[in-house]
Amino acid sequence: MPGPRYAIDWESASLRIVFAVLTVFAMVFLIAPTVIVLITSLTPSESLKFPPPGLSLRWYYALVDADQMQRAAWNSLVIAFWTTLICVVLGTAASIGLARSKSKWVRGADLLFMSPLLLPALAFGFAALVYINKLGLAPSITLLVLGHVIVCVPFVLRTTIASLSQLDPALLEASNSLGASSWMTFRRVTLPLIAPGLGSGAFLAFMASFDNVPVSLFLADERTEVLPIHLWQQIDTNLDVRTAAASGVIVIFTLVLMLIAERFAGITQQMR
């Protein structure tokens, strides 16, 4: 009966080849644009060209004098920082409540918290703009942070719930039986064990906030302009070569954060 065995082996090998080819294509389409941006940012010419006529750090040095771009980058960092901090606090509390509750409404609450990832981001941004106008409020850093929190907290929620699902309840029972309060149990037992999931969610929330366009597009004005919107406007109007250099800085900044998150939080393991 060698025939069927060889047929199954051939079928398995063909499947592996197909997946390998698809993986290569996916990597090319994901990595190639980033590589092109990094190479283009090193052009010495006055316009964006690929391949560049030479290599130079001219436009990276030019970022030192890009005051408006620096203000937009600072706004993005401030908003991403406060968004991440609030998301960690709210996401942790919500995750513990959802993970420990046995109510039949938990599934519905979970879907409600995750709904910002399902709804079109542009629709949410427009709805938020209409809502704050009805309240008589003007765009501000505070409103941008609140808008970003709504769309970023699901990242913290999902990774933290995944970590809590792997937490042995016997550890919590042992802590309580030894006389520890709920707060001490959380601080000494729960928090250290879910820290990798919490850190992964914080990283995802920070990057989602820093790179957010749909919400920022509606809730930001000239005083609260963020970096993605500023770069978009520069590319749309005059193709400033400094936008390529700024994009290169963002790519390097993201890679550094990913390495840090992988080193201390094991982000790839948390996302499996």
**Is 126 part of a structural domain of the chain?**
yes
- Whether 91 contacts 203, CB under 8 Å: no
pLDDT tens digit string along 113-138? Answer: 777 777 777 888 888 888 888 888 87
- pTM score: 0.80
Q: How far apart are CA 70 and CA 95, in angstroms?
A: 36
Mean pLDDT, to the nearest integer, of 209-234?
83
pLDDT at 2 (0 to 100): 52
**Is 41 part of a structural domain of the chain?**
no
pLDDT at 80 (0 to 100): 92
Structure tokens at 147: 């808008």
Q: How far apart are CA 249 and CA 251, in angstroms?
A: 5
- Nearest to 80, CA basis, from 260, 207, 181: 207
Domain with residue 259: its CATH number is 1.10.3720.10
Looking at residue 64, what DSSP letter applies? Answer: G
Cα dihedral 27/32/33/38 (nearest 10): 130
- Whether 35 contacts 51, CB under 8 Å: no
**Is 121 part of a structural domain of the chain?**
yes
Cα 255–Cα 198–Cα 115 angle in degrees, nearest 5: 95
pLDDT at 7 (0 to 100): 46
**Is 224 part of a structural domain of the chain?**
yes
**Number of domains making up the chain:** 1
**Is 211 part of a structural domain of the chain?**
yes
pLDDT at 6 (0 to 100): 46
Mean pLDDT of the chain: 80
**Is 49 part of a structural domain of the chain?**
no
Where in the sequence is the domain holding 82, given as residue range(s)? 66-270
pLDDT tens digit string along 65-111? Answer: 878 888 888 989 999 999 999 999 988 888 888 777 667 777 777 77
**Is 264 part of a structural domain of the chain?**
yes
